[in-house]
Amino acid sequence: MIGRREALLSTLFGAGYIGLRALATGLPASILLNPRRALAAGPAAGCATTTKAQYILLNTSGNGDPINANVPGTYEDPKITHSQDPAMAPTSLTIQGRTYTAAAPWAALPQNVLDRLCFWHLMTNTPVHPKQPDVLKLMGATQAGEMLPSILARHLAPCLGTIQSEPISLGASSPSEGLTYGGRALPILPALALKATLTSPTGALTNLQPLRDQTLNQLYDLYRNGASPAGRAYIDSLVNSQQQVRNIQQGLLSQLSSIKDNTPPSQVLAALALIQMNVTPVIALHIPFGGDNHRDLGLQTETTQTVAGVATIAGLMTQLASAGLADKVTFASLDVFGRTLGPANTDGRQHNPNHQVSITIGQSFRGGVIGGVGPVGNDYGALPIDSQTGRGDPSGDVAPTASLASFGRTLLAGMGVDPAVVSNEIGAGQVIASALV
């Protein structure tokens, strides 16, 4: 009977732990899966969109966090309520040469991060927590009801050569935050479970060097007798030395060993390890930004979690840079809905189906603000978007109800997915070209 540990390893690294063998040897999984054909053929043609393809860390929550209450675009109207805590004081920040006002934590981000940070004022058109899966399906706009993270993963996996095409959820805090792929529910992998599986004395990462030698020995006869000269040269250029494997093993073990819990910083550590092991193109996290704060005296929870959430993003960006991944990973967010903004919200906020703010940070995205807010009923909602400039405008050609699909289309476009494929995958909205580099 297969144990939980073996099942998890098989899920992460494929049949025969092909992903671990790829990590240990430096050889792509495609070569290890069919070495005879790969060695005869030599270097394979690359994915056409490799230059734009990125790993994606998606922060997603079914709580409906008040991210939308303290970002650029919400400080122009004095009737919009903001936390009065000094830690959330309105502060000027500059993105791509333009000045905005936001809560102080956002302004404290390094300038190189701000210049890639884009705030998206969107409408999810639901006030219901369990509708988070529908929001990830862009409220009916995706082909066959596929979730946006799964669409992204399916198109990015061949370009990045990941072990699996399914996304992985590290931070789901309720069933509604779980992911599906092709209609199939995917397991949730907490950070501590990943650590326990990979770092035990008999864990997968403690045996990389023997695994390297074993795998190369198995390939040796085929390599010597079956490879073309071009194929041999290609393989030689990819194979990790024993010292490289030792460094990989020590780095990953150190990183995973520092995981102490399933909190957002630990999720970040686990996500970076999964990226470095090239397991999946898309990883879902849960970083709280205020939660379901109906009764939040003085908006204190909103303040505390926003300060901590932005600090987690800052830490993520620092770690990406240290790992040489700053230009290879895009961070994005998408919540089920935002919170009400009007003047009654001093000790808590209600569900807002008309306004939610997502963010993107990555080399494919131009920093700035897409869309804006305006009065809707007795509160505020997302404005239409001018698809050419990205600005919120009552006469914009992207209606608020199409803004969510437009966000999804633009994410796909930023990853280099062909425009015709983007249109087929998401049947509404427009690519907001001004958001792209």
DSSP track, 372-423: -EEEETTEEEEPPB-TTT-BB-TT-SB-HHHHHHHHHHHHHHHTT--HHHHH
Range of weakest confidence among 49-58, 89-98, 153-162, 315-324: 49-58
Please answer whether residues 1 and 257 qualify as being in contact, where contact means their C-beta atoms are separated by less than 8 angstroms: no
Return left, alpha or beta for 320; rule: phi > 0 is left, psi -120 to 50 is alpha, else beta: alpha
Residue (of 188, 180, 171) closest to 150 by Cα position: 180
pLDDT, tens digit, 9 for 90 and up, residues 261-293 = 999 999 999 999 999 999 999 999 999 999 999
Element (H, E) at 40: helix 35-41
Which residue is listed with tokens 């460094």?
247
Report the predicted TM-score, pTM, of the whole model to 2 decimal places: 0.93
- 3-state SS, residue 437: coil
pLDDT value at 321 more than 50: yes
Of 340 and 216, the structure prediction assigns the larger pLDDT to 340
Kindly report the backbone phi and psi dihedral angles of residue 397, in degrees, each rounded to the nearest multiple of 5, phi listed first.
-90, -5
User: In the predicted model, what is the mean pLDDT of the chain?
Assistant: 91
pLDDT at residue 3 in the model:
61
* CA–CA gap between residue 323 and residue 434 (Å, rounded): 29
pLDDT at residue 44 in the model:
45
The bridge status of strand 338-339 relative to strand 351-352 is antiparallel
Q: What share of the chain is helix, strand, coil (3-state, %, to 5)?
A: 45, 15, 40
Q: Going by CATH, does the domain composed of 52-190+262-435 fall within 3.40.50?
A: no
pLDDT, tens digit, 9 for 90 and up, residues 217-231 = 888 777 777 667 777
Measure CA 182 to chain center: 19
pLDDT, tens digit, 9 for 90 and up, residues 10-49 = 778 887 788 888 899 988 887 888 777 666 655 544 454 5
* CA–CA gap between residue 338 and residue 380 (Å, rounded): 11
In the structure, what pLDDT confidence band is assigned to residue 168 with cuts at 50, 70 and 90?
very high
* CA–CA gap between residue 83 and residue 299 (Å, rounded): 6
Which two structure tokens, joined as six digits, stand for 23? 């990590």
Integer CA distances (angstroms), 264 to 281, 300, 308, in order: 19, 19, 9
Please answer whether residues 299 and 346 qualify as being in contact, where contact means their C-beta atoms are separated by less than 8 angstroms: yes
Element (H, E) at 93: strand 90-95
In the structure, what pLDDT confidence band is assigned to residue 75 with cuts at 50, 70 and 90?
very high
Please answer whether residues 392 and 372 qualify as being in contact, where contact means their C-beta atoms are separated by less than 8 angstroms: yes
Q: What percent of the chain has pLDDT over 70?
A: 95
In the structure, what pLDDT confidence band is assigned to residue 2 with cuts at 50, 70 and 90?
very low
DSSP string of 259-278? --SSSHHHHHHHHHHHHHTT
Angle at 336 between CA 335 and CA 341, to 5 degrees: 85
Q: What percent of the chain has pLDDT over 90?
A: 73
Which residue is listed with tokens 């993270």?
149
Please answer whether residues 67 and 338 qualify as being in contact, where contact means their C-beta atoms are separated by less than 8 angstroms: yes
Q: Where are the domains of the chain?
A: 1-45+203-261, 52-190+262-435
Kindly report the backbone phi and psi dihedral angles of residue 43, in degrees, each rounded to the nearest multiple of 5, phi listed first.
-60, 130
